Structure 1
């Protein structure tokens, strides 16, 4: 019997998304039941590449700040979903994940909607609390860089959403035009996560170079809660050569861009997706592109036509990790807390059910 062909990531251009020329078949190949649940978008605005490189360089600078500076931007009262977090999550084997640092911020601002969220859901502090930023003397321009890149990602996600809405109107009875695009463009619940994966010490490095064992040691297998998750390509930085502790502002007024490796010495390091059959596929995002993957809210909004994608991040095999860090940015476009994702279930309830299931 022939082995079923593994799905691959679908690629489209920003122009195709703008003019609506992405076929419904292509959307189904990207997000449907037999897909990887990922679409890669090229042809992005000219400023994207430089913004990506500079912000992901800041991920190394941020992750290597003195602990007293990081403590200033921790928010335990917000369940560490605002500002800096490290060592608060658990991996598949129950260990606390100390190899990944995260910086959370909400890039979409609307005073009226933010006040509504606080009034209707006062207990949802992780979604209702203001952003916090390191002092500009510590990370000059960080807030500006992060919000600017996030806005490009959200604007691109909105175009992906517009095309998903075309699919919904054509294929799903009673689907309301503009449903997903409106969520992506206007929701103040959208959450950005700048990630710094620390170089793993030898005693916790992955014990093999294959997929089967300890494959999610840099980030445990999960699927996202929101609608569409925008992802930049990963940046690998050799911090033994380019020490993020030893730097100062350059002529641009920012901390300098760190040189990135062409690839990790262990080619299996990075983002992997577990498809519907249980097979795993590594996904490579070109540096000048964005990827968008499906989450739980999109699956429910499309009544299962588009599936949430399980994924994980694999660290390096022993002897290949060195002092190489991995930096990336994920932007989770999530419905407003009161928006319905399925029948009488609003996003706040879905989020709470997901959190309770993880406890």
Structure 2
């Protein structure tokens, strides 16, 4: 990757402007349109957001540090590992299984009703990716895990609904035959919205995730180590939902602040900035250029997905993106034994399985195609 990566300046709007419905169409076109980055940043979030983000992203490290046998109890093979803990189940662009990060998938049906843990299986008995119930870590081990992630996901979906309302205003004026309020309806009534809590495993000082990936691939295939992929943590892809809510990443030196020796109810100490300026979220622009996007810690970002592109007949475009991992040099940290983990949360707002995203194609049809080619 080039030594100088352009830093993108995404469109930023305030939560108050979204409430008031005063975000101009020009801003939405700049954020989501055919020549856009496909991302918008929302600032001035509720005060509770800061503490929720700190606890939820810390819980990602606490979770990943559980013994292997306990993590295996949190897996859901029946859902193709799209509920609960997942590591080494997803294939990257190279065709190799991704073992450099762990994910915890959560159905957000509780947004509609606190007792719901999955979409109903009545009409889709063969779609356990969404109809299998949530699995939760033991309250004795991680007492804040479930309540904090449910509260943060609810805040993110509430904000996504306001972004969707702004998109609806635009689409009603610019998409022939668009149904008034459709995207907001999809976001607010969905039983299939899915959250993904991510833990990018620590890298050692003096090494990089790219090097570790190559070592792993070298062990699988002597010719595989010749690749020099930029997207070493997450293959370039587009999300298949409508709007993806993203927190900024939390970077933790687990050598200094071990999740195995700290009480899980206490947020872990966060680095003030990434020890590697190149680590983070990258977007491949419409012109093919790669730009890096930084999300402020007190903000949320929302990316466009394929379902939104279909719903708006291409007026808003899905954003190709990838994540680059941390490369830590000894001079980048006060500790030469630094072990830097990266934690983040993504919430994929998605239509209900029976909703049409394209004439004659339901979201279930569309999502099944995506899952089969990815997992």
TM over 0.5: yes
1:102 matched to 2:118: no
- Secondary structure of 2:121's counterpart equals helix
5 Å matches for 1:109-148?
A: 109=110, 110=112, 117-148=120-151
Q: Is the 8 A contact 1:207 1:318 kept in 2?
A: no
In structure 2, the residue matched to 1:19 is 20
1:316 matched to 2:316: no
Coordinate RMSD, CA, aligned:
2.2
1:162 matched to 2:165: yes
For the residues of structure 2 that align with 1:273 and 1:341, how far apart are their CA atoms?
Answer: 24
Q: Is the 8 A contact 2:109 2:118 kept in 1?
A: no
1:195 matched to 2:198: yes
For the residues of structure 2 that align with 1:296 and 1:116, how far apart are their CA atoms?
Answer: 21
For the residues of structure 2 that align with 1:306 and 1:172, how far apart are their CA atoms?
Answer: 10
Listed one character per residue, the Cα deviations across residues 89-110 of structure 1 (whole Å, up to 9, x for unaligned) are: 1222232211111111112335
5 Å matches for 1:1-359?
A: 8-109=9-110, 110=112, 117-200=120-203, 205-206=209-210, 213-248=228-263, 255-317=265-327, 319=329, 322-358=338-374
| 1:115 positional shift | 8.8
- Secondary structure of 1:264's counterpart equals coil
Structure 2 unaligned regions, length at least 5:
1-5, 213-226, 333-337
Report the TM-score, using the length of structure 1 for normalisation.
Answer: 0.92
| 1:7 positional shift | 6.4
Q: Is the 8 A contact 1:207 1:213 kept in 2?
A: no
Q: 1:175 to 1:38 in 2, by over 3 A?
A: same
In structure 1, the residue matched to 2:3 is none
For the residues of structure 2 that align with 1:214 and 1:241, how far apart are their CA atoms?
Answer: 30
Q: Is the 8 A contact 1:189 1:335 kept in 2?
A: yes
Q: Is the 8 A contact 1:205 1:318 kept in 2?
A: no
For the residues of structure 2 that align with 1:92 and 1:114, how far apart are their CA atoms?
Answer: 32
For the residues of structure 1 that align with 2:18 and 2:311, how far apart are their CA atoms?
Answer: 20
Structure 1 unaligned regions, length at least 5:
250-254
For the residues of structure 2 that align with 1:186 and 1:102, how far apart are their CA atoms?
Answer: 25
Q: Is the 8 A contact 2:74 2:135 kept in 1?
A: yes
Report the TM-score, using the length of structure 2 for normalisation.
Answer: 0.88
Deviates more, 1:233-242 or 1:310-319: 310-319
For the residues of structure 1 that align with 2:254 and 2:287, how far apart are their CA atoms?
Answer: 38
Deviates more, 1:213-222 or 1:171-180: 213-222
| Count of residue correspondences | 347
Listed one character per residue, the Cα deviations across residues 259-298 of structure 1 (whole Å, up to 9, x for unaligned) are: 1111122101011111111111111001110000000000
